[in-house]
């Protein structure tokens, strides 16, 4: 069981040892199984089948699960549920979606306490059988049912919901449902993921719909300057670089008039986001720099001292023969370097004195 938890990040040696230990466990279980009775026998039988499944012996696992399901009156409801789920998961991994659907439904008919987990897996059979609307409806039910305390599971289901939703007509109601049912830590990323999936599927207008929704949410939740920076990123992601530069101007103007409160916002993080936006933009335009990027560099350098950025701005301006701007940024780069060297020398001298 401990190996199963660690498998996702294990190295080859650990996986090999786990395989050997699981086979040893199977041998021990099979030796003691005939001597066991009642609940103890049920638990060992289920664990043995599961170990066969983990070691790749799906035929033997299937045989044990089938053996359990032939004697439904003999075994507990929990064991029957585990058996149906074991068969369903193997069928799902083998692309036998109809079989998986039937077995998941058999497990649900026994009314297990964790039915929402089973329904989340059932939704995948609908999705693979091109019943995307049914998959979406099923996960909507799961998200309404799953306890709020299970935030990790809720986050996973919400991401699956976004994946399925991208293949169906997207409305404001659906987007709002996704936002409200995704844990806050993953909410923005999940909506961005949905927009990206829609764009990948060629559903440009619906992708724009999601981006606009993100922009509206940013207006409601962010400080003025944070709002403009988020909108600048959204406009850039949409390919609207002139509009992105305008939002950057508004961000800088607002930042100059509203002091960033370090206790409330992570000002350093905002600077890093701003810097990343410009570096991503510069990489995308490495062969064809736009005036909008040069302008955005200027906005950044009007509020932040940054040797690398001032030098890259100078190079970019020179590449498109914007010589006036290039000279300004080269001078700024030299001045920034001089200040930096002076500070380092001062720090070095004070260290020697100590």
Residue 188, token pair as written in the block: 């923005």
Neighbours of 333 (CB within 10 A): 21
Residue 317, token pair as written in the block: 């301006």
Which pTM value belongs to this model? 0.62
pLDDT, tens digit, 9 for 90 and up, residues 48-95 = 878 877 777 788 888 888 888 888 888 888 889 989 999 999 999 999
Q: Is the pLDDT of residue 115 over 90?
A: yes
Residue 55, token pair as written in the block: 């070691």
pLDDT, tens digit, 9 for 90 and up, residues 207-238 = 888 888 887 776 665 566 777 887 788 888 88
Return the sign of the alpha-carbon dihedral for residues 274, 275, 278, 279: negative
Residue 165 half-sphere exposure, CB side, CA atoms within 13 Å?
Answer: 27
- Note the pLDDT of residue 254: 83
**CA gap 309, 51 in Å, rounded:** 56
**CA gap 201, 179 in Å, rounded:** 21
Q: Is the pLDDT of residue 4 over 50?
A: no
**CA gap 334, 339 in Å, rounded:** 9
- Note the pLDDT of residue 229: 85
**CA gap 23, 17 in Å, rounded:** 10
Band the pLDDT of 260: cuts 50, 70, 90: low
Q: Is the pLDDT of residue 173 over 70?
A: yes
pLDDT, tens digit, 9 for 90 and up, residues 294-304 = 999 999 999 99
Band the pLDDT of 351: cuts 50, 70, 90: low
pLDDT, tens digit, 9 for 90 and up, residues 327-345 = 999 999 999 999 888 877 6
Q: Please report the beta strands in the chain, taking only residues with DSSP state E, as ranges in sequence order.
A: none
**CA gap 51, 60 in Å, rounded:** 10
Q: 84-99: buried (b, 16+ CB within 10 Å) or exposed (e) per residue?
A: bbbbbbbbbeeebbeb
Of 231, 252, 253, 227, residue with least CA distance to 243: 231
């Amino acid at each position: 069981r401990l190996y199963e938890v660690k498998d996702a990040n294990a190295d080859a040696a650990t996986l090999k040892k786990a395989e050997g230990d699981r086979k040893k466990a199977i041998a021990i279980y099979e030796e003691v199984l005939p001597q066991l009775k009642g609940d103890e026998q049920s638990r060992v039988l289920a664990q043995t089948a599961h170990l066969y499944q983990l070691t790749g012996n799906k035929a033997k696992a299937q045989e044990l699960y089938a053996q359990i399901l032939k004697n439904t009156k003999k075994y507990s409801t929990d064991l029957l549920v585990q058996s149906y789920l074991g068969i369903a998961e193997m069928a799902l991994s083998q692309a036998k979606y109809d079989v998986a659907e039937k077995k998941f439904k058999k497990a649900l008919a026994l009314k297990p306490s964790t039915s929402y987990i089973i329904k989340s897996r059932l939704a995948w059979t609908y999705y693979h059988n091109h019943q995307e609307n049914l998959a979406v409806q099923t996960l909507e039910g799961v998200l309404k049912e799953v306890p709020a305390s299970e935030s990790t599971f809720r986050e996973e289901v919400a991401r699956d919901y976004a994946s399925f939703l991208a293949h169906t007509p997207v409305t404001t109601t659906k987007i709002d449902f996704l936002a409200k049912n995704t844990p806050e830590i993953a909410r923005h990323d999940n909506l961005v993921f949905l927009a990206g999936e829609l764009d990948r599927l060629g559903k440009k207008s619906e992708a724009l719909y999601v981006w606009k929704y993100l922009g509206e949410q940013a207006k409601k939740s962010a400080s003025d300057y944070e709002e403009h920076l988020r909108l600048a990123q959204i406009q850039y992601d949409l390919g609207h670089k002139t509009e992105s530069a305008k939002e950057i101007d508004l961000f800088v103007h607002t930042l100059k008039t509203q002091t960033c409160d370090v206790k409330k916002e992570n000002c350093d993080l905002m600077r890093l986001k701003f810097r990343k936006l410009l570096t991503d933009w510069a990489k995308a335009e490495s062969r064809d720099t736009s005036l909008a990027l040069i302008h955005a560099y200027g906005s950044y350098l009007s509020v932040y001292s940054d040797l690398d950025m001032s030098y890259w701005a100078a190079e970019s301006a020179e590449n498109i023969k914007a010589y006036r701007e290039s000279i300004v940024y080269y001078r700024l780069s030299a001045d920034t370097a001089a200040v930096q060297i002076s500070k380092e020398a001062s720090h070095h001298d004070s260290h020697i004195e100590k």
